[in-house]
Amino acid sequence: MKLSIIVPVYNVADYLAKCIDSLLAQDLPQNEYEVIVVNDGSTDNSGDIAQQYADKYANITLLTQENQGLSGARNTGIKHAKGEYIQFVDSDDYLEKNVLGGLMKQVEEDNLDVLRFKYQNVRINKESKEYEVFKPYKLDSFLFDDYSSKVTDGVCFLNERFGTACYAVMFIIRKTILENCIFKQGIYFEDTEWTPRMLLRTKRVASVDKIVYNYLWREGSITLSQN
């Protein structure tokens, strides 16, 4: 198994089908990757939706647990992953079509520990109900992301190429890197705490200058909530 895609799920019934459909619309044979959906104590019908996909597709597995938060759900997925590499996709987001084949080809040819790719912000137009790309804030003045395909180590990557975006969903990661490198539970913005730890364990890191991931801005999400 080449790749395990871990999808934490909590009360996202309105978005889950689009997410899973995007994971199935890929240019990898289904026997080469798995989708692990972790139902983290949802109280809506997210679990039922996920079960319908798991019943229909052999490469989709549904795990159900009491609510442990995003970190706990990701950690559960890591424990059950069978792939040589791991990718995280949040259940209200989605991938571009037919991108995983090229990503895994680069990972294998360059023997990478980590491959980073680009994301874009999307929202649902209130009038048309369609997804649209948008820029929620202006970062151009201080961005210093370097999406070079040249292979480097994690220390150099953090110091010279990483930039400002610190999201776990931007990477494909060799599973062995995540041994004893799980997500801390009980905190917000757990990606910011976890990502540097993960990268510092790596020897071969590169990027691809291509938009792969669509990050949904929506009311009620962790990012847009105040606490």
pLDDT digit string (tens) for 31-64?
A: 999 999 999 999 999 999 999 999 999 999 999 9
For 19-29, write each residue's pLDDT tens digit: 999 999 999 99
Indicate yes or no: pTM above 0.85: yes
Phi and psi angles of residue 105, each rounded to the nearest 5 degrees, phi first: -65, -45
pLDDT digits (tens, 9 = 90+) for 109-148: 999 999 999 999 999 999 998 999 988 766 554 556 899 9
Say if residues 124 and 133 touch (Cβ distance below 8 Å).
no
